[in-house]
Amino acid sequence: MKLGKSSDTSSDSEVYEISNELLDVFPEMESIWREVDLEIFWVFRCLADSIERKTTRRYSKKENVLYLDMNFSRDRFSSMSKDEQRFHLSREFYSHTRESLEKYAFPGIEVDRFMADLARLCVQIGWAEEERDLGS
């Protein structure tokens, strides 16, 4: 397994910094799930509502990459604290990741176990509170 991320944000939010916290989680997740032949690539966007960008998912069978593109409202996020932004970003991250893995049912991935491993590691970057709110 290989995990990666990118972001497309303005300086009006902390989405870039918050999403970078995941870089500390990826190496251990890749190690735990090394037997699974899949790349997951997240894109974190914080754009103006007027752009009307939606959160999407796409699996490229040719590349064997699951692309998870999440959009957050710059109009809303610009008035939130970093902790509030982390709360909303992490909730979307957890739910969109879970829904996407369930939709595609990749061989070798037990979704509940994968999400439990991800949540356990995200405790180290301060995302624990949000995971409990998902009812997983």
Residue 13 has what DSSP assignment? Answer: S
- As a whole number, mean pLDDT of residues 65-74 equals 96
SS3 category, 59 = strand
pLDDT of residue 54: 93
Residue 38 has what DSSP assignment? Answer: -
Cα-based distances in Å from 56 to 24, 25, 53, 113 = 24, 23, 9, 23
- Cα gap 21→8, rounded to integer Å: 15
- How many C-beta neighbours within 10 Å does residue 33 have? 19
pLDDT of residue 128: 60
β-strand 65-73 against 56-60: which pairing, if any? antiparallel
- Straight-line distance from the first to the last Cα atom of the chain, in angstroms, rounded to the nearest whole number: 23
pLDDT for 136 beyond 90: no
Instruction: Name, of 8-12, 98-102, 127-131, the range with top average pLDDT.
Output: 98-102
- As a whole number, mean pLDDT of residues 46-66 equals 94
Residue 11 has what DSSP assignment? Answer: T
Residue 135 has what DSSP assignment? Answer: T
pLDDT for 22 beyond 90: yes
pLDDT of residue 124: 87
